[in-house]
């Protein structure tokens, strides 16, 4: 999913609120905080599309199949995010792409498998990884995942059995 990176302060109290531009237009929904001064919002166009799709599914009586969930909150690494994270986290690995795990939810498959907050996923099931969509696709199509992680100089592989 594409996000809008912002320096607006986002926390559990205001997550879900609007992100507005200087003209007062709503441009997104505040969603997550990666570090102090690095937050993300879901673009308003994605919200509109989600609401339209949900309404159409409900009106037609169709429902989506149950989604698989491993228990991570993640964001795709971009050059600017990598630069910001390296400034804030001395142990941040030397990568040019990947997916940053900013939270592993306790008690989930990811937590039981050994994933930790601030890990960087660089591969899944033997394939290099660059986007959150690739993580989502792997979760959707596999019952277990072989995940290659980096944290600082440490490279590890964990096995996640989906729920």
Whether the CA torsion 30, 34, 37, 43 is positive or negative: it is: negative
pLDDT at 6 over 90: no
When the pLDDT of each residue in the chain is averaged and rounded to a whole number, the result is 84
Please state, for a pLDDT cut of 70, what percent of the chain lies above it: 94
**What are the chain's domains?**
4-60 (2.40.10.10), 72-161 (2.30.42.10)
pLDDT at 62 over 80: no
Residue 2 vs residue 133, higher pLDDT: 133
Distance CA 77, CA 2 (A): 11
Q: What is the tens place of the pLDDT at every residue in 98-138?
A: 999 989 999 988 898 888 999 999 998 888 989 888 988 88
**C-beta separation of 129 from 121 below 8 A:** yes
**Most confident residue range from 26-35, 126-135, 152-161:** 126-135
């Amino acid at each position: 999913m594409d996000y809008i990176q912002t320096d607006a302060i986002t926390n559990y109290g205001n997550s879900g609120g609007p992100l507005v531009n200087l003209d007062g237009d709503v441009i997104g929904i505040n969603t997550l905080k990666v570090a102090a001064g690095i937050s993300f919002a879901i673009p308003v166009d994605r919200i509109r599309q989600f609401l339209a799709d949900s309404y159409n599914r409900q009106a037609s009586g169709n429902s989506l199949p149950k989604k698989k969930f491993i228990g991570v909150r993640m964001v795709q690494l971009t050059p600017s995010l990598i630069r910001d994270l390296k400034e804030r986290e001395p142990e941040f690995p030397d990568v040019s792409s990947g997916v940053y795990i900013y939270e592993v939810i306790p008690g989930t498959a990811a937590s039981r498998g050994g994933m930790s907050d601030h890990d960087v996923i660089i591969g899944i099931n033997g394939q290099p990884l660059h986007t959150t969509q690739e993580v989502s696709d792997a979760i959707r199509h596999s019952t277990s995942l072989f995940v290659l992680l980096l944290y600082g100089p440490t490279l590890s592989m964990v096995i996640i059995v989906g729920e």
